[in-house]
Amino acid sequence: MFFQTATDKDVYAVGDVVGHAIPPSGQTAVWAGKQCANEITARFAGKAYTLAVKSKAVNAGNVCYSMVGDNPEEAIMVTHDFSWTGKTIKGKGHVPKAASGKYRSTGTGKALRNWYSGITADLFS
């Protein structure tokens, strides 16, 4: 996987503009941004960029939260499983139910807040 565009070696692309099955979420945006920065850094150092993976096939997961209520705070989540074989990224999403049997819950709202705290700490550390 590379972020340098095919039409201009000085332009890099991440996010929804890239044709792949990585789910659009904060978690994958942070990951892709870091990988793109690694590619640019390698290029400035005159080195080849390679995605650091242990095998040719990569299986990964992702979670995406959405707040859907404010009193009490409730959220839903979507989980994604995706795989990369070195050329193509494939993905599939799932909306799990909370222990209550409903899609929205206060527990998921708390999980959203905890995820947000963790991801912002990672971004600004």
pLDDT digits (tens, 9 = 90+) for 84-115: 776 667 778 888 887 888 889 999 999 999 99
- The DSSP line for the chain is ---B-SS-TT-B--GGGS-S----SHHHHHHHHHHHHHHHHHHHTT-------SSS-EEEEEEEEEEEEETTEEEEEEEEEEEE-SS-EEEEEE-PPPTTSSS-BHHHHHHHHHHHHHHHHHHT-
Within-domain flag for 43: yes
Within-domain flag for 9: no
Within-domain flag for 54: yes
Within-domain flag for 81: yes
* pLDDT > 90? residue 57: no
Number of domains in the chain: 1
End-to-end CA distance of the chain: 26
How many residues are recorded in the chain? 125
If one compares 48 and 88, the residue with the highest pLDDT of the two is 48
Q: What is the span of the domain harbouring residue 91? A: 15-123
- pLDDT score of 113: 94
- pLDDT score of 17: 79
Within-domain flag for 8: no
- pLDDT score of 75: 94
If one compares 34 and 22, the residue with the highest pLDDT of the two is 34
- pLDDT score of 44: 93
Within-domain flag for 62: yes
Within-domain flag for 111: yes
Within-domain flag for 3: no
